[in-house]
Amino acid sequence: MTPMSFANFVKVVGGIPVAQQPPDVRVTGVAIDHRQVQPGDAFVAFVGQRVDGHQFVDEAFRRGASVAVVTKDVKTALGPCVRVPNALEAVQSLARWERNQFDGPVIGITGSNGKTTTKEMVAAVLSALGPCVYTSANQNNELGLPLTILQRDTSHRAMVLEMGMRGLGQIAELCAIARPTVGVITHIGYNHIELLGSQENIALAKTELIASLPDDGIAVLNGDDPWLRRMSHRTNARIVWYGMTEACDIRALSVDWSQEGMAFDVHTPHGPARMRIRLLGQHNVMNALAAVAVGHVLGLTLEAIAEGLSRVEAQRGRLRLMSARDVTVIDDAYNASPSSVAASLEVLQRIARPPHRVAVLGDMLELGDMEAEAHREAGRQAASVGVDRLFCVGERAVELAQSAKEAGLGHVRHFRTVDELIPELEAHLSPGDVVLIKASRAMQLDRVVDALLNR
């Protein structure tokens, strides 16, 4: 973060210094874990369900903290404390201040699927401008986003911020902190429909991002998504549409598949280009198009955009191809929704030949009233793409297994737990098999991936 004086720090966080004389210190960063404190950091003591950060104030000072932000009395003689009413609001206030110091592009990214991969692609493309600060892991919420902004230093030329949500108003709150100049929405699906009640409410929640854009901002939207077309009136910013259809400003043609990734021609207002990505699936072509659109509106050449995309690699749990002795694992265990399951099954169909198509599918969560039908449809899809052996796990996956059997898939097994599944799966694998592993994160199918890699 931009270095600031103690007096200015107190003003920004809205706190009361627990010291008679203002100390002569400068704050150069923020940490919420005492083990990660760097010299000059402000240590913000959060009270969690298991750990109270106030217990580690002395240790934070020993590691070089310049100040501690606390919400209750702390006895320490090692450094100055600032008491605030709310630790989260203090971090968010600091992030707002830091955002005000930055005049480069700030890209906000959300969507029911694909936002994390799109974030990685956009950051890789924008590296042509110089270093970018961008969301790491799943730090896309009311705390993670401010902490990401506070990682900025004077070398950074862009911010790429993923925005998650679990309810109406949450993305609007993130946008009030980040003030994005470019907003990307990848897709309006069914994730969190159990909480939001309808796909229309999901669309309203996601499009809070483009509603927050300034009039001179740019909305980069999936032009193949009917909900985004319907909700485009929510922004006064310029809209750039991307997708596969002619109605899109940035569109892909001639898509080629291989186990090494995807290749496609991209049409832009500045001409055509051939792009290659080291990720699998038509949906990742769409994610790449979003990154192409962002690079395009920020003035990058197609050559620079293509170079950036070529460096992006699949992350663990996100359609990553891995070799496990004599079989290939498609590790897509990070999360699942109806649309992402369909996309992953298409990948399995494309890169594996009969009789080597094996799918391990588990429960999809937070689908509300559409839960049963969504699992039944996944079973039908597994049969339609030619899965040879289907292994299902979880309470909801009973519907998936039954539907697959009814659709004609011959080898279907269902298990209550991952522990029951693993030995049976290993016993039914043959050399040359390609195994897709996918479910919602709570199902812990990453344990199946690890078991296959270590067998």
Asked whether residue 346 falls in the same domain as residue 444, the answer is yes
Domain containing residue 413: CATH number: 3.90.190.20
Q: Is residue 278 part of a domain?
A: yes
By the 8 A CB rule, do 170 and 192 touch?
Answer: no
List the chain pLDDT tens, one digit each, 455 residues. 999 999 999 999 999 999 767 788 999 999 999 999 999 999 999 999 899 999 999 999 999 999 999 999 999 999 999 999 999 999 999 999 999 999 999 999 999 999 999 999 999 999 999 999 999 988 999 999 999 999 999 999 999 999 999 899 999 999 999 999 999 999 999 888 888 999 999 999 999 999 999 999 999 999 999 999 999 999 999 999 999 999 999 999 999 999 899 999 999 998 999 999 999 999 999 999 999 999 999 999 999 999 999 999 999 999 999 999 899 999 999 999 999 999 999 999 999 999 999 999 999 999 999 999 999 999 999 999 999 999 999 999 999 999 999 999 999 999 999 999 999 999 999 999 999 999 999 999 999 999 999 98
Asked whether residue 126 falls in the same domain as residue 197, the answer is yes
Domain containing residue 121: CATH number: 3.40.1190.10
Q: Is residue 394 part of a domain?
A: yes
Cα dihedral 113, 116, 117, 119 sign = positive
Residue 362, beta-bridge partner list: 393
Please state, in angstroms and rounded to a whole number, the distance separating the CA atoms of residues 247 and 70: 53
CA angle, residues 183, 130, 271, in degrees to nearest 5: 60
Helices and strands in the chain: count of H runs, count of E runs:
17, 22
Asked whether residue 330 falls in the same domain as residue 431, the answer is yes
Please state, in angstroms and rounded to a whole number, the distance separating the CA atoms of residues 175 and 203: 16
Domain containing residue 65: CATH number: 3.40.1390.10
Asked whether residue 366 falls in the same domain as residue 391, the answer is yes
What is 338-372 written as a DSSP string?
Answer: HHHHHHHHHHHHHH--TT-EEEEEE---S-GGGHH
Please state, in angstroms and rounded to a whole number, the distance separating the CA atoms of residues 101 and 115: 26
Q: Is residue 315 part of a domain?
A: no
Q: Which two tokens stand for residue 118?
A: 């799109």
Max Cα distance, the chain (Å): 78
Asked whether residue 294 falls in the same domain as residue 328, the answer is no
Nearest Cα to 202, choosing from 183, 213, 186, 189? Answer: 189
pTM (two decimals): 0.93
Q: Which pLDDT score is estimated for 195?
A: 87
Asked whether residue 109 falls in the same domain as residue 157, the answer is yes
Residue type, 64: G
How confident is the model over 397-424, as pLDDT tens digits? 999 999 999 999 999 999 999 999 999 9
Please state, in angstroms and rounded to a whole number, the distance separating the CA atoms of residues 128 and 400: 45
Q: Is residue 261 part of a domain?
A: yes
Q: Where are the alpha helices (DSSP H) in 185-232?
A: 193-196, 199-206, 208-211, 226-231
Residue type, 382: A
> What is the number of structural domains in the chain?
3
Please state, in angstroms and rounded to a whole number, the distance separating the CA atoms of residues 310 and 430: 33
Indicate the residue among 310, 338, 358 that finishes a domain.
Answer: 310
Q: Are strands 81-83 and 106-110 parallel, antiparallel or unpaired?
A: unpaired
DSSP designation for 13: H
Asked whether residue 234 falls in the same domain as residue 203, the answer is yes
Indicate the residue among 292, 310, 328 that finishes a domain.
Answer: 310
Asked whether residue 186 falls in the same domain as residue 297, the answer is yes
φ, ψ at 190 (rounded to 5°): -115, 5
Asked whether residue 360 falls in the same domain as residue 257, the answer is no
Asked whether residue 223 falls in the same domain as residue 301, the answer is yes
Q: Is residue 93 part of a domain?
A: no
Q: Are strands 106-110 and 158-162 parallel, antiparallel or unpaired?
A: parallel
Q: Is residue 96 part of a domain?
A: no
DSSP designation for 128: T
Asked whether residue 341 falls in the same domain as residue 222, the answer is no
Indicate the residue among 33, 60, 86 that finishes a domain.
Answer: 86
Domain that holds residue 17: 4-86
User: How many C-beta atoms surround the C-beta of residue 262 within 10 A?
Assistant: 23
How confident is the model over 254-270, as pLDDT tens digits? 999 998 999 999 999 98
Q: Which two tokens stand for residue 17?
A: 């210094």
Q: Is residue 94 part of a domain?
A: no
Q: Which pLDDT score is estimated for 20?
A: 65
Q: Of all helices (H) and strands (E), which one includes residue 401?
A: helix 397-406
C-alpha distances in Å from residue 390, one per residue of 152, 373, 402, 412, 428: 46, 18, 11, 5, 11
Q: Is residue 95 part of a domain?
A: no
Asked whether residue 300 falls in the same domain as residue 362, the answer is no
